[in-house]
Each structure stands twice: as structure tokens, then as C-alpha cells.
């Protein structure tokens, strides 16, 4: 590697490191400063489960196919460790699943509309490979339905960014309705929507399709929007590269002191493997579970929390 390439790499690393540190500081300050909003502290953990459907707009192009597949494989590998931890500590989590992940073959979904954002070659839905394991996760979804009251939320059908300038109402409507159709077949109730990239749009279509809760782009008290949907605060994205379990526990402690909602969301592919995932989550979940036993915090899913505070 030449010097300027190395310098650029270090610059990017420092820059992204400091951006993550800033996000953490901002969230810690938000939790500490917001007026007490609830009668008890609340805890939610959301897993955005997308396997290889993590494509998003990136500079002039999109997440590469190789990177998407790498993420899918890693998510699959890390999934059992997370599930067993949630099980041992009795913590219900929210799983925001890409609709296509709740399938085991392509003949069980409807034909999507034509969709060609300028920043990818060909049609968005051409990626659907009709074969690769990383695009199907019905086996994983069936596993998580056995857990301690986990909630299944929709994370759209194929991870379309609703706020992207190329996304039209026809695509948004397909993504919303088809994810509902596929997920409902599992027999689990469906109330919550998590917008890819946390960029809400077409909320009117969401409301028409009977979704009543969505993760918002910012933090604030859980409240209804103009369509009657509950806006759930975005909370903070967790990754072992952003902060450690000690820092995560600090946020939970602040939430307990201030009777706030602490909301974590993450992707399984952020963790290099089972060991790193356990090292991060075990202390956090143990702390939440012990605090819950003392009546200091209520760990629940997004649906459970909205139900409890309304």
C-alpha cells in the first residue's frame, strides 16, 4: 500500500471513529437531559435482520454484491449465539426482518414492479437470485418465533430506501404490502415497520396497510404522527467498533435513573463472530435482566413498549 492510500485509510478510520463517538455522546446526553417520560425505564433491542438484502445507496453506486453476501453469511453464523443469549436472560427482542428473508423460495412471493434507480445497473429486483441461501431465512425466523416473546417487525420486502429520490409510491406500496403478506403467513402479529436506513417516507401507505408503529429517524418521546402511527425513537446503533458493553451498560443506567427508554438496534453482521457477539451482549443482557428483576427497567419489544405506555 502506498503512503497516500495508507494516509487516506487512517483518515477515514479516525473520521468514522470520531463520528461514532459523537453519536454515543449525543445519545448519552439525550438520555440524561430529556425530561422523565415514562413511569418506568424501558429497554428495547432491535435486530435488523436482512441477511444479504443489505444493499443501499453508497456514494455513486450501491453496496456491492460481494459485501452483501459477506454480511448475509456472517449474520447467519452469529444468529444462534444471539438467540441463545436472549433465551438465557429472558429478554424479548424485536426482529425487523426483510420480507424476503421470511421465505425459503421465490415462488412464494409476488412479482415486484419495475424499479430502476439511476445508481445501480439494471433493475433493483434483478438481484433476487432465486437460489442463494443468503437471500432466504425462513429457518431462522421459525427459530426466533420460539423465543421469549420476540416481536417480528417488517424491514420492507427487499430493503428499498423509501426516502431515495427514485423510490415511487408503487415501489413503496409493493414493499409494504408484500412484506406484510409474507410475514403474516408465519402466523405472527405484525404492527411495526423499520424503514431501511431509518428514513421514513410514504407513511400514509404504511398506515393504510395497518402498520401502527415505526422506528423514526430521530429521538424523542414515543408519540403519534399525523397518520395515527406511533413514532418510536431511533435510539442508537450498536456495533463493537462504535462502543463496548461498558458504554452500553452506562446508557442503560442513565435510562434507569431518568425513567427513559433506551433503544438499541444493530445488525448481526457487525460482529466478527460468535465470541465477539457474546462478549458484547452477555454483560449488557445480564445487567438488563438483573435490573428488570429488581423492578428498575422493563425489557420489551417495540410493540410491547408502545402498548405499555399508551
- CB of residue 207 vs Zn ion: minimum separation in angstroms? 21
- Per-residue binding letters, 191-220, with Zn ion (x by CB under 5 A): -----x------------------------
Q: What's the CA gap between 137 and 209, in Å, rounded?
A: 24
Q: Identify which of 72, 84, 134 has the alpha carbon closest to the alpha carbon of residue 278.
A: 84
The residue at minimum Cβ distance from Zn ion is: 106
Candidates 71-79, 101-109, 113-121, 137-145 — which segment interacts with Zn ion by CB under 5 A?
Answer: 101-109
Q: What's the CA gap between 173 and 208, in Å, rounded?
A: 10
Considering only 23, 128, 225, 282, the residue that binds Zn ion (CB under 5 A) is 128
- Per-residue binding letters, 60-99, with Zn ion (x by CB under 5 A): ----------------------------------------
Name residues whose C-beta falls within 8 Å of residue 281's C-beta, 6 or more positions apart in sequence.
82, 85, 245
Q: Identify which of 236, 238, 232 has the alpha carbon closest to the alpha carbon of residue 304.
A: 232
Task: Name residue, grid cell 430521530.
Answer: 218
Closer CB to Zn ion, residue 135 or residue 243?
135
C-alpha torsion angle, residues 196, 197, 198, 200 (rounded to 10): -60
Closer CB to Zn ion, residue 8 or residue 58?
58
Closer CB to Zn ion, residue 156 or residue 231?
156
Query: Positive or negative CA dihedral for 196, 201, 202, 207?
Result: positive
Considering only 45, 48, 211, 252, the residue that binds Zn ion (CB under 5 A) is 48
Candidates 17-25, 104-112, 144-152, 224-232 — which segment interacts with Zn ion by CB under 5 A?
Answer: 104-112
Q: What's the CA gap between 41 and 259, in Å, rounded?
A: 4
Name the residues that contact Zn ion, by CB under 5 A. Answer: 48, 50, 106, 128, 196
Amino acid at each position: 500500500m502506498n503512503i497516500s492510500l495508507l494516509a487516506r485509510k487512517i483518515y477515514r478510520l479516525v473520521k468514522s471513529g470520531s463520528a461514532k463517538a459523537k453519536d454515543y455522546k449525543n445519545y448519552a446526553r439525550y438520555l440524561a437531559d430529556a425530561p422523565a417520560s415514562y413511569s418506568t425505564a424501558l429497554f428495547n433491542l432491535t435486530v435488523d435482520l436482512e441477511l444479504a438484502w443489505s444493499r443501499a445507496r453508497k456514494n455513486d453506486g450501491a453496496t456491492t454484491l460481494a459485501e452483501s453476501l459477506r454480511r448475509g453469511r456472517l449474520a447467519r453464523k452469529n444468529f444462534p449465539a444471539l438467540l441463545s443469549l436472549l433465551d438465557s436472560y429472558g429478554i424479548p427482542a424485536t426482529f425487523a426482518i426483510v420480507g424476503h428473508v421470511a421465505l425459503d423460495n421465490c415462488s412464494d412471493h409476488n412479482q415486484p414492479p419495475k424499479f430502476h434507480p439511476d445508481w445501480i445497473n439494471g433493475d433493483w429486483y434483478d438481484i433476487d437470485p432465486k437460489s442463494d441461501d443468503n437471500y432466504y431465512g425462513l429457518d431462522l425466523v421459525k427459530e426466533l418465533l420460539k423465543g421469549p416473546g420476540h416481536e417480528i417487525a417488517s424491514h420492507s420486502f427487499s430493503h428499498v430506501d423509501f426516502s431515495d429520490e427514485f423510490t415511487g409510491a408503487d415501489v413503496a406500496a409493493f414493499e409494504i404490502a408484500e412484506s406484510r403478506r409474507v410475514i403474516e403467513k408465519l402466523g405472527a402479529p405484525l404492527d411495526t415497520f423499520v424503514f431501511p436506513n431509518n428514513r421514513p417516507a410514504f407513511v400514509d401507505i404504511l398506515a393504510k396497510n395497518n402498520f401502527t408503529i415505526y422506528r423514526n429517524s430521530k429521538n424523542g418521546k414515543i408519540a403519534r404522527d399525523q397518520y395515527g402511527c406511533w413514532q418510536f425513537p431511533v435510539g442508537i446503533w450498536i456495533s463493537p467498533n462504535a462502543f463496548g458493553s461498558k458504554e452500553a451498560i452506562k446508557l442503560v443506567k442513565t435510562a434507569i435513573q431518568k425513567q427513559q427508554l433506551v433503544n438499541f438496534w444493530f445488525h448481526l453482521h457487525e460482529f466478527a463472530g460468535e465470541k465477539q457477539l457474546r462478549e458484547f451482549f452477555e454483560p449488557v443482557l445480564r445487567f438488563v435482566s438483573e435490573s428488570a428483576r429488581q423492578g428498575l427497567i422493563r425489557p420489551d419489544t417495540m410493540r410491547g413498549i408502545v402498548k405499555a405506555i399508551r
